[in-house]
Amino acid sequence: MISLMGIMAGFILSFLFLASAENDIYTRLRLKMVKNQLEARDITDKKVLEAIATVPRHLFVSPTYRSRAYEDYPLPIDEGQTISQPYIVALMTQCLNLKKGDKVLEIGTGSGYQAAVLAHLTDQVYSIEIRKNLAKKASETLKKLNYNQVKVKWGDGYFGWPEYAPFEAIIVTCAANHVPPPLLKQLKEGGRLIIPLGSTLYFQTLTLITKIKGKPRVKHVLGVRFVPMIGEAQKKNGR
């Protein structure tokens, strides 16, 4: 006669085996993504490649899209928002040229994936999300995955996070037709800010701004398409 304990032990072993097999599959997909989508293009920063090879992107999307988490395109998340294409995440991160100890501000937490990538490069990550439910869900996901060095705030990223300024780097993951002045003010001298600039309805130019002697030095990186920044930025767009 088979004991209840024996049956339970069998279920547990089966579950652990399936979980391990699933992790192996996602790990292979993630490494393939890094090789074919990032290294094959212009992502050369080894720290960025290692970070993206480590972060379990599939856990930042809904179960419906997990099989596509490592494909070469953005995916929908809650409230009409998206998780950016892996290449764009890597490119924006590489442009920031982060070092250990750098303080980085992210505007637009979304799923929390970009913040997790940043957390592999520095232990000071501050992220602002204007949608309350997204901020809550991203914070929970990050904590569940032990990204405790990421601080998530529900609020309007247009105004930055003065309490923790200045920042060595700022990354804006939503489109605006101008650089929010508070972000430039909170950027440290010599710091770098990356933002999609242009029409918030159509296409933008991924723009890298370096603060030199208090003034922005601008470099155009790539044509992109991001969801628009809302809140104060949206009000100013309407003027």
pLDDT of residue 234: 78
pLDDT of residue 235: 79
pLDDT of residue 194: 98
Question: What is this structure's pTM?
Answer: 0.89
Q: Is 127 a catalytic residue?
A: no
Residues of the chain with pLDDT under 70: 1-23, 237-239
For 73, which DSSP code? S
| CB-based burial label for 133 (10 Å; 0-12, 13-18, 19+) | exposed
Given 3, 14, 84, 127, the catalytic residue: 84
pLDDT of residue 233: 86
Q: Which of 136, 135, 49, 144 is nearest to 87 (CA)?
A: 49
Cβ atoms 138, 101 nearer than 8 A: no
User: Which neighbouring-strand residues pair with 112?
Assistant: none
Q: What is the pLDDT of residues 183-228, one digit of tens each?
A: 999 999 999 999 999 987 888 999 999 999 999 999 999 999 999 9
Cα separation, 10 vs 15, in Å, equals 9
Cβ atoms 207, 197 nearer than 8 A: yes
pLDDT of residue 36: 97
Residue found under tokens 């809904």? 62
Q: Which of 129, 130, 155, 159 is nearest to 142 (CA)?
A: 129
Q: How many residues does the chain have?
A: 239
pLDDT of residue 18: 38
The tokens describing 217, both together, are: 């030095």
Q: Which residues of 135-144 are buried (b: 16+ CB within 10 A; e: fewer)?
A: bebbbebbee
Cα separation, 43 vs 91, in Å, equals 7
Q: What is the pLDDT of residues 1-13, one digit of tens each?
A: 445 555 444 444 3
pLDDT of residue 237: 66
